[in-house]
Structure 1
Amino acid sequence: MNRTDRLYALVEELRAVSPRPRSARWLAGRFEVSTRTIERDITALQGAGVPIWAEPGRTGGYVVDRARTLPPVNLTPGEAVAMAVALHRLGGTPFAPAAGAALRKLVAVMPPADAAEAHRLAGRVHLIGGGPATPVPAAVADAVSARRVLRLRYADRAGAVSARDVEPLAYLGNPTHWYLVAWCRLRGGVRCFRTDRIVSVHPLAEAVTRELRPEDLDIPAGRVRPLSLV
């Protein structure tokens, strides 16, 4: 079991027996790791806002507040990333720390496979500044997670329309617009397509296998950052 899966399993184990405690030694045997590893895991969970405390004594151990934790949440990876984008817009407000803590708690109780996919999808969303408010066509909104080649009709800034087959790689948002970052087969390179200039979208059956490299985004370091769920 990897560490991420173990952290989720630890919370669920403590939830299942709450309010009874589980000792570090018992948990170490259950998850086949050292007691030191369990103690580090508990510290990490406490740092993420999970309400776990230690009860002293011969029959003591770790206890989780069942009333303040959630069972596995049926959020999809896309829904988790959508929440992260929305919460990003709270940056600089008094609510930003509380919003970030709420999102971390939700991701912490997602099924491990869904949480891992949410983190992968979030890594393909890049934001500049506060993030945009312009709408994105539905087919484009699903493009990066669906990993399918798209056939676009795209208008440039002069209004000239061209047909493009593109391989969606990421999203880029600035305070004004959303862009689809994709490998353009017509131009033979990575291009950013402003979503409000996409005239039509047709998903193709072909899967995308290409990945975005950091150097593909020709933006000065420090101005752009990947979306984070933590």
Structure 2
Amino acid sequence: MNRTDRLYALVEELRAAAPRPLTVASLAARFEVSTRTVQRDLQALLETGVPVRTTSGRGGGWSIDPAMTLPPIRFTADEASALVAALAVADAPYADAARTAAQKIAASMTGPAADAAQGLAARIVALPDRTAGSVRSAVEHALTTGTVLLLSYVDESGRRSDRAVEPAGLLTAGGSWYLIAWCRERRAGRGFRLDRIATATPTDEKSPPHDLADLLLGSAAAGAVRPTALAPLTPPR
């Protein structure tokens, strides 16, 4: 068994036993490797974000939270290539989370799927993201927590203004990302292109809920539809 297969198998072994911890010695015997190898593998899983943890003392060992892991997923070569292509353009927002997701996906791939993903990844390049990391993080935080965001925004004419906004969602169009929000200054829904946001400051103030479709009414983006790839993730309305 190569290391990639063993890492995957380790996760599944811990999932099967959860929440009961397993000792390094028992895992080493299970996979017929040394305890040092198992320790090194478990540390690698920990560093890539897999929710493994260790407890000391009598009855201790390594365990995993089964609610935070996925059952086995087998990708075809085409599916693996599609994921690589999708992750390559995930520059904003949630780019950092996309990168860690890519690492986890890559670690689970073997055979033709891994070869296809690696081959395509070597043939994709991108210009650097123009959206400042601090702006992207603030937008992500506001959307996730449902809180008010303070923006300093530069419009297409170069005019700069300060706004307090109540985020409703994201719109992607023409290769750009827009934060759709209720603007307290304009008292209306507005779209803010992420690469034109000069600064974004999170707050602890809870934002009233806004329907994304309602805020888009009357705008050039009124006909925006949810990407079909997201349909399986979205609850029916």
TM-score (norm 2): 0.49
8 Å CA contact retained: 2:4, 2:108: no
Matched residue SS, 1:12 = helix
Whole-angstrom distance in 2 between the partners of 1:73 and 1:125: 25
Higher normalized contact order (CA 8 Å, seq sep 6+, divided by chain length): 1
Matched residue SS, 1:54 = strand
Which stretches in structure 2 are left out of the alignment for 5+ residues?
A: 130-174, 176-237
Matched residue SS, 1:53 = strand
Residues 114/63 of structure 1: CA separation in 2 closer, same or farther (3 Å cut): farther
CA displacement at 1:109 relative to structure 2: 4.0
Whole-angstrom distance in 2 between the partners of 1:50 and 1:115: 21
CA displacement at 1:104 relative to structure 2: 2.8
Aligned equivalent of 1:70? 70
Is 1:125 aligned to 2:123, yes or no?
A: yes
CA displacement at 1:54 relative to structure 2: 0.3
Aligned equivalent of 2:28? 28
User: CA offsets, 1:153-176, max 9 Å, x none?
Assistant: xxxxxxxxxxxxxxxxxxxxxxx9
Which stretches in structure 1 are left out of the alignment for 5+ residues?
A: 132-175, 177-230
8 Å CA contact retained: 1:51, 1:65: yes
Aligned equivalent of 2:103? 104
Matched residue SS, 1:127 = coil
8 Å CA contact retained: 1:89, 1:130: no
Aligned equivalent of 1:95? 94
Aligned equivalent of 2:156? none
Equivalent residues in 2 for 1:48-87, closer than 5 Å: 48-87=48-87
Matched residue SS, 2:41 = helix
Whole-angstrom distance in 1 between the partners of 2:48 and 2:72: 16
Whole-angstrom distance in 1 between the partners of 2:13 and 2:115: 23
Residues 100/123 of structure 1: CA separation in 2 closer, same or farther (3 Å cut): closer
Give the stretch that moved more between structures: 54-63 or 72-81.
Answer: 72-81
TM-score (norm 1): 0.50
CA displacement at 1:79 relative to structure 2: 1.6
Matched residue SS, 2:62 = strand
The one-letter code matched in structure 2 to 1:89 is V
Is 1:39 aligned to 2:55, yes or no?
A: no
Percentage identity across aligned positions? 48
The one-letter code matched in structure 2 to 1:99 is A
Whole-angstrom distance in 2 between the partners of 1:44 and 1:74: 22
8 Å CA contact retained: 1:88, 1:130: no
Aligned length: 130
The one-letter code matched in structure 1 to 2:67 is A
Aligned equivalent of 1:219? none
Whole-angstrom distance in 2 between the partners of 1:109 and 1:12: 11
Whole-angstrom distance in 2 between the partners of 1:87 and 1:5: 23
Residues 69/24 of structure 1: CA separation in 2 closer, same or farther (3 Å cut): same
User: CA offsets, 1:187-212, max 9 Å, x none?
Assistant: xxxxxxxxxxxxxxxxxxxxxxxxxx
Whole-angstrom distance in 2 between the partners of 1:79 and 1:104: 16
Aligned equivalent of 2:18? 18
